Chain A
Amino acid sequence: MEAIESKVGEPTDESVLVDAARKGDISAFESLVKRYDRNVFRIAQHITQNREDAEDVVQDAFLKAYQNLGQFQGQSKFYTWLVRIAVNEALMRLRRRRPERMVSLDEDVKTEEDSMPREIADWTPNPEQQYTQGELKDILSRTIQGLPASFRTVFVLRDVEGLSTEETADALGLSIPAVKSRLLRARLQLRERLNKYFKKRRDGDGTQ
């Protein structure tokens, strides 16, 4: 039933694909995989910070979604429901890999202090252009890695994937104030950590 996706000539409504998949149309489910696999991979890699784990999360999240389509109520969007499954799979793998650290979405790390700006420095106009694409990715990856998992997760859903605050809260089972609080702290901590790469250099201070 490849036709479901192609005969309309434009992306088929998600609910049509979900209904068809629920009735056993595996090609409709494959269309959903094609639609969201990149997003699920990005989310998984952000949370686990491990390529192999991210690959496993993508496979397991889609398989779980397929097997449990009967339980999908349609109250939230399929994508939000899929994200919830993927986040749980990713956190589970992170816990397995780092059993010494408690990994939970409920962790409310330390106090407000950890996010208060310490260094106030303006950045160069196009800071990312000081680095090659590879260097920049390395910087961004190392920087986000240092954030607690709960902050990383909220940041990637809201700011990278563009989910709304409500969708993020729904996908993570958090309240809206909890999402907002984690998002603020994630953004401020990332900003602080990026300062050392992007801030304006004073002439003659020996650095670039």
Chain B
Amino acid sequence: MTCSEFLKELTDYLDGVIDDRTKKELDEHLLWCHNCYVVCNTTKRTIEIYRGSELYELPDDLRTRLRSAIMTKCQEHKPKS
């Protein structure tokens, strides 16, 4: 397996949606290819860091204000039949 072939499968590999045979080939590639090992690891960390970052959380006061605005608008604009 080449590094480009490895990269093509990286998303499925990280998501754990890959057949056993391909997974075995990817695991083997990682054993000897340090570059792909680093790319794989740091990509995994990238996802984890974004997922755990609480970036763009909705503050409580804004949340209350938005909900109240939404519900007022909904009362004014009934569903289309």
Contact = CB atoms under 8 A, between A and B. Distances in A.
B49 A127 contact: yes
A93 B7 CA distance: 34
A29 interface: yes
Nearest to A183: B11
Contacts of A22: 79
B58 A191 contact: no
Given A37-B58, A38-B57, A70-B81, A140 B71 contact: no
A66 B79 contact: yes
B21 to A, nearest CB: 19
Interface of B: 7-8, 10-12, 14-15, 17, 35, 38-39, 41-43, 45-47, 49-51, 53-58, 62-63, 66-67, 69-71, 73-75, 77-81
Interface stretch (A3-11, A40-48, A81-89, A98-106): A40-48
Interface residues of A, number: 53
Given A120-B35, A122-B38, A191-B42, A144 B50 contact: yes
A191 B46 contact: yes
Contacts, number: 131
Interface of A: 22, 24, 26, 29-30, 33-34, 37-38, 41-42, 45-46, 54-55, 58-59, 62-63, 66-71, 116-117, 120-123, 127-128, 136-137, 140-141, 144, 155, 159-160, 162, 165, 180, 183-184, 187-188, 190-191, 194-195, 198
A33 B7 CA distance: 39
A71 B53 CA distance: 36
A41 B58 contact: yes
- Which 8 A-B residue pairings sit nearest by Cβ, starting from the closest? A45-B56, A41-B58, A184-B11, A191-B46, A62-B70, A120-B35, A66-B74, A191-B43
Contacts of B80: 67-68, 70-71
B12 A180 contact: yes
Contacts of B39: 117, 120, 188, 191
A34 B80 CA distance: 22
B70 A68 contact: no
Given A42-B56, A121-B42, A187-B10, 10 more contacts: A37-B66, A38-B63, A42-B55, A55-B66, A137-B55, A162-B51, A184-B8, A188-B39, A198-B42, A198-B45
